[in-house]
Amino acid sequence: MICVLVGQVKVKNVGNCCKSVEKSTENDRNTATVKITIRRPDDWHLHVRDGTVLQTVVAHTAQHFGRAIIMPNLKPAVTDTASALAYRDRILAVLPADSRFEPLMTLYLTDNTRSDEVRKAQASGHIHAVKYYPAGATTNADSGVTDIGNVMPVLETLQEIGMPLLVHGEVTDPAVDVFDREAVFIDRVLAPLAARLPDLRLVLEHVSTRQGVEFVVDSSERVAATLTAHHLLMNRNALFTGGIRPHHYCLPVLKREQHRLALLDAATSGNPKFFLGTDSAPHARSAKENSCGCAGLYTAHAAIELYAEAFEQAGALDRLEGFASCFGADFYGLPRNEDRISLVKTPWQVPADYPLDNDRLVPMRCGETVDWMVE
Ligand code: DOR
Ligand code: ZN
């Protein structure tokens, strides 16, 4: 149903999510949208690191997002309830007094994680998921799981208590081409796991391939996925535009255009299995511009704005709210945020960098423009 408001067109409902889209000229449906108002979004996959870095990066996310799932790949990793709660306190300590931003904590799964620890984590009320990194798959994944068989008892407990397992879905087998590691992981590990534990709640994090999308679509409603803004906006050519681009290197690595299009289709489909997770991953400039550069893009400075660009490209701004503000909360069994934010189509220039300890942090689109701005 389309109902005309004063200077506004109310567009499609997605679940209970409904938002207004303002057109630049009333009654002209071909003119560009200039303003959208959506329920406050959440980020279901975020790295904020620790120490002095927290101040810069938490502020970026807390500005516009209500909550974020905080990744536990610190050094040392956040493997137990006590360290997750202490980490939460350190995050809360850098927030301004009037901030309502809520960090949702996770535990890092190791070969030695015990079932009673995840029960304790859930009972704390602040720890919402367990993160599974195959050992060595990415940044600070050295203490990850060496063989899924080693953690079956704890995965059975997660299934029993309904706590989601967040999956970094890539094999580490050096014989497998780096661009195929997600698809191979699905065949070798994820599909057998979902078959063995059909009630386990799974999130395939930062899905990057058509095969990943298809797996999630074809699985039960207990299987979901997060999508990053960078995988929606860029394909692997962005790694090599005019030379090697270390700031576009992440894991899973950007894929071919056909995969990007499959991700964009999934994000904008209105399917509640797909929701926002930036995987914003700050690294110092010196660690990125390096003979062995770290994986990770920093997108927290412009996260919802970059997603708006992707959705606009797909002609699906009316689907942004479900993806960004509703489906993740529903999957995690948390209430949706009640307040709203507005985005306006006003291009702005991203700074060349931000301060980070004694180094600099180079954000996505540094020195270039982003089309949307939060009002
Ligand atoms: O690109 C990435 N960076 N992928 C990950 O899985 C980890 C992250 C990080 O922590 O830097
Ligand atoms: Zn991540």
Contacts of residue 8, defined as CB under 8 A and 6 or more positions apart, other chains included, come to: 20, 21, 22, 23
Out of 27-31, 159-163, 220-224, which region has the weakest mean confidence (pLDDT)?
A: 27-31
Indicate the top mutation candidate among 139, 208, 226 to test ligand 1's pocket, ranked by most ligand atoms within 8 A of CB. 139
The structure's pTM equals 0.94
Q: Which ligand is nearest to the CA of 208?
A: 1
Q: Name which CATH class applies to 2-344.
A: alpha beta
As beta bridge partners, residue 20 has: 10, 37
Catalytically annotated residue among 199, 279, 339, 359: 279
- Render pLDDT for 266-311 as a digit per residue (tens, 0 to 9): 999 999 999 999 999 999 999 999 999 999 999 999 999 999 999 9
Pair 66, 101: CB distance under 8 Å:
yes
Q: How far is the CA of 151 from the centre of ligand 1 (A)?
A: 22
Angle, CA of 125, 131 and 135, to the nearest 5°: 150
Ligand 1 atom closest to residue 47's alpha carbon, by position in its atom list: 10
Chain segment 45-76, per-residue pLDDT in tens? 999 999 999 999 999 999 999 999 999 999 99
Pull the structure tokens for residue 137. 């798959």
**Which pLDDT belongs to residue 21?**
67
Q: Is 168 in the pocket of ligand 1 (CB under 6 A)?
A: yes
181 lines ligand 1 (CB under 6 A): no
Task: Report every protein residue that has its C-beta within 5 angstroms of ion ligand 2.
Answer: 279
For ligand 1, say whether the CB of 282 is within 6 Å of any of its atoms: no
Task: Compare 23 and 317 and report the one with higher pLDDT.
Answer: 317
What's the CA gap between 119 and 112, in Å, rounded? 15
Ligand 1: which of 47, 166, 181 to mutate, judged by most atoms within 8 Å of the beta carbon? 47
pLDDT at residue 220 is higher than 70? yes
Q: Is residue 279 annotated as part of the catalytic site, yes or no? A: yes
* C-alpha–C-alpha distance, residues 368 and 137, integer Å: 31
Q: Predicted confidence band at 168 (pLDDT cuts at 50, 70, 90)?
A: very high
The residues facing 215 across adjacent strands are none
Identity at 186, one-letter amino acid code: I
- Pick left, alpha or beta for residue 208 (phi over 0 → left; psi -120 to 50 → alpha; otherwise beta): alpha
Note the pLDDT of residue 30: 55
Q: CA-based diameter of the chain, in Å?
A: 62
Task: Read off the tokens for 90.
Answer: 């350190």
